[in-house]
Amino acid sequence: MTSISKSVREKKRRSFMRRVRKHKLHLLMIVPVICWYLLFKYGPLYGVTLAFKKYQLLKGIIASPWVGLDNFQRLFSSYNFWNVFRNTIIIAALKFVFGFPAPIILALLLNELRGNKYKRVVQSLSYLPHFISWVILTGIFMVILSPNRGPINTLLKAMGMKSIYFLGDPKYFRGTLVVTGIWKGVGWGSIVYLAALGGVNEELYDAARVDGCGRWGRIWYVTLPGIAPVVTIMLILSMGSLVEDDFDQIFNLLNDAVLGVGDVLGTFIYRQGITNLDFSYATAVELFRNLISLVLVLSANYFSKRINEYGLW
């Protein structure tokens, strides 16, 4: 019996080595990617221990004293944190409600266009904002949304309305974040859905036409069910971002006038870690945020599997 098991193991080893030799070039191509992940993704994970320590710069991470859950107790008893957490949830929820359907709608509209030349022009224009930095866009929006000389407020004044300080009025700042975020990312986000639309069977459209379905009927009964798996996967992935925030956008647009409604976890962590040099507390906040993201993704995947049988795993 022992000799048989040894023979089986030897055959498996030889088969494995043959596959390695056969695909050695492909494996060599993967090595840089593995090294990158080890260095920049898994290596820094040790820094998570800062959340349970009182970091001292001269002692470093390893020699800094352990404090257990003191940083988390400080976190949960802080009014500033809960205010920031509430802002994060509100802004993320608004972006999710209005931002998640936006690329789907754009992809459906582009899919209905029959002029390929016009379609390519619209696609290119919608993709372009994604490649512009928020640093540059902030300067552009400050000019466009200026209450004195901005074109939008100039139009409002011409209509007999009062000018609006979009970037300085707490009532409008969150809406401005949502609209500018959608404008920047809607084109790029539609790429996935356009690819999914390309895989929908054309015979289903022909059958729907024979059954008397108009354009809206074909979209509802053929197109949307055809891309439902992709929409579900993107929905699950986006659930993790409900406690995330577009740091580049908010950091550049945020100012003291709207700090009460625009300060989010990303900017809070930046201030605590970089400005105040309180690395342990900042790490605890980030770890708490990541745990919530993980729970949201796992929950969304679980309920998705129960409802429509689509999921990440």
| Phi, psi (deg, nearest 5) at residue 54 | -105, 100
Which residues, including other chains, have CB under 8 Å from residue 131's CB and lie 6 or more apart?
none
Structure token digits, residue 121:
């022009």
The model's pLDDT over 106-163, given as tens digits with 9 standing for 90+, comes to: 988 888 877 778 888 888 888 889 999 999 999 999 999 888 888 888 888 888 888 8
pLDDT value of position 111: 84
The tokens for 275 are: 């400005």
pLDDT of residue 48: 86
Q: The tokens of 9 are what?
A: 């193991």
Question: Given this model, what pLDDT does residue 173 score?
Answer: 92
Residue 243 pLDDT: 78
Q: Transcribe the chain into DSSP letters.
A: -HHHHHHHHHHHHHHHHHHHHHTHHHHHHHHHHHHHHIIIIIGGGGGGGGGGB---TTTHHHHSPB-TTHHHHHHHT-HHHHHHHHHHHHHHHHHHHHHTHHHHHHHHHHHH---HHHHHHHHHHHHGGGGS-HHHHHHHHHHHT-TTT-HHHHHHHHTTPPP--TTT-HHHHHHHHHHHHHHHHHHHHHHHHHHHHTTS-HHHHHHHHHTT--HHHHIIIIIHHHTHHHHHHHHHHHHGGGS---HHHHHHH--GGGHHHH--HHHHHHIIIIIS--HHHHHHHHHHHHHHHHHHHHHHHHHHHHHHS----
Q: Which residues of the chain have pLDDT under 50?
A: none
